[in-house]
């Protein structure tokens, strides 16, 4: 049985891990490799590094830290932020990342998804979608969310874009629900459930985790494959080992490390 995945997300800005509330007011949380190792040791199933400044500034991810992380950790990790071409993606993947996640650049030029899937296989291609509910009740896509002054609301409906992204070659979808992000009131189960019905590749919930029950609900109600969170882990409010034991007791298939300790 495939386990559900717990995925700490490390938002990277200028080579440090940061976290803001509702994507604003970022504060430094720590050094990249230190936090990566801490989460590996605690039993995180995967890590996502999201360079939140790269896309609005039109630059790519600095690959130096990608390689440092790849040398140190032995769990999969994904790099997001400012990957706008096959060349950018190749650099990050060759530096040791397992997957690349594209968000704003895919909205600028959707063919990028097809190109990356053709070059590296769909398993390397994650499409991140930042989504917000508009006044008319529709979920629509936001672009350039790393910088509030540059964030744009798009006419694209979130679920339409998610469907198109899969058709083009997304091997995984990270749905970032901005209405719930950073406020720890729970994942957006309504939106995730709607997305799950249309998502035939792995679906990762993002935005809103505050308690262990929030993770359980995302897995048992919205049936997501993975749950991504940042501040609850970085602040120590929830420890990954406690969360995994809790989820196992709640009947969620989860990877616990006990059986792995051979030496």
Q: For the chain, state the CA radius of gyration.
A: 17
CB of 224 to another protein, least distance (A): 11
Is 178 or 203 the residue whose CB approaches another protein more closely? 203
Q: Does residue 217 touch another protein according to CB under 8 A?
A: no
Closest CA to 141 of 170, 193, 104: 104
Tell me the two tokens of residue 108.
Answer: 């600028």
Q: How far is the CB of 263 from another protein (least distance, A)?
A: 7
Q: What is the largest CA-CA distance in the chain?
A: 57
Contact between 94 and another protein (CB under 8 A)? yes
> Taking contact as CB under 8 A, which single stretch among the options 11-19, 136-144, 187-195, 201-209 is the one that binds another protein?
201-209
- Residue 110 binds to another protein (criterion: CB under 8 A): no
Does residue 5 touch another protein according to CB under 8 A?
yes
The yes or no reply on residue 24 touching another protein (CB under 8 A) is no
Count residues contacting another protein (CB under 8 A)? 42
86 lies in the site for another protein, by CB under 8 A: no
For this structure, is 98 an active site residue?
no
Q: How many CB atoms lie within 10 A of CB 197?
A: 9
Q: Which helix (H) or strand (E) holds 125?
A: strand 125-133
Q: How many CB atoms lie within 10 A of CB 128?
A: 25
Of the residues 88, 130, 181, 217, only one is catalytic, namely 130
Instruction: Determine which residue in the list 187, 225, 229, 244 makes contact with another protein, applying CB under 8 A.
Output: 225
**In whole angstroms, how close is the CB of 15 to another protein at the nearest point?**
20
Phi-psi region of 112 (alpha: psi -120 to 50; beta: other; left: phi over 0): alpha
Quote the CA–CA distance of 33 and 210 in Å, as a whole number.
Answer: 24
Min dist CB 96 to another protein, Å, is 4
Structure tokens at 100: 């690349």
Among 1, 136, 155, 236, binds another protein (CB under 8 A): 1
Among 13, 19, 40, 184, binds another protein (CB under 8 A): 40
Token couple for 28: 């430094």
Q: Binding another protein by CB under 8 A: which of 18, 48, 80, 95?
A: 95
> What is the Cα–Cα distance from 174 to 129, expressed in whole angstroms?
6
User: Is 130 considered catalytic here?
Assistant: yes
Residue 84 lies near another protein (rule: CB under 8 A): no
Shortest distance in whole angstroms from residue 63 CB to another protein: 11
For residue 4, the 8-state DSSP code is: B
What sign results for the dihedral spanned by CA atoms 62, 68, 71, 72? negative
Residues that bind another protein (CB under 8 A): 1-5, 40, 45-46, 67, 70-71, 74-76, 90, 93-96, 98, 120-124, 171-172, 199-203, 223, 225-226, 255, 257, 259-263
């Amino acid at each position: 049985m495939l386990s559900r995945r717990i995925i700490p997300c490390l938002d990277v800005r200028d080579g440090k891990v940061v976290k803001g509330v509702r994507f604003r007011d970022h504060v430094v949380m720590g050094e990249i490799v230190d936090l990566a190792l801490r989460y590996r040791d605690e039993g995180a199933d995967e890590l996502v590094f999201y360079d939140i400044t790269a896309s609005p500034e039109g630059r790519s991810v600095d690959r130096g830290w990608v390689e440092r992380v790849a040398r140190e950790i032995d769990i999969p990790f994904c790099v997001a932020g400012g990957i706008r071409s096959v060349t950018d993606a190749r650099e990050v993947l060759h530096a040791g990342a397992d997957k690349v996640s594209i968000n704003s650049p895919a909205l600028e030029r959707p063919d990028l998804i097809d190109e990356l899937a053709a070059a590296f296989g769909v398993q390397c291609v994650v499409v991140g979608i930042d989504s917000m509910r508009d006044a008319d009740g529709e979920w629509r896509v936001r672009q350039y969310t790393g910088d509030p002054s540059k964030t744009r609301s798009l006419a694209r409906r979130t679920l339409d874009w998610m469907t198109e992204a899969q058709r083009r070659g997304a091997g995984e979808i990270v749905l970032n629900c901005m209405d719930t992000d950073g406020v720890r009131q729970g994942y957006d189960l309504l939106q995730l459930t709607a997305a799950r019905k249309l998502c035939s590749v792995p679906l990762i919930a993002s935005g809103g985790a505050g308690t262990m029950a929030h993770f359980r609900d995302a897995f048992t109600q919205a049936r997501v494959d993975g749950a991504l969170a940042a501040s609850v882990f970085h602040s120590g409010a929830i420890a990954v080992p406690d969360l995994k034991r809790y989820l196992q007791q709640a009947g969620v298939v989860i990877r616990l490390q006990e059986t792995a300790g051979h030496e």
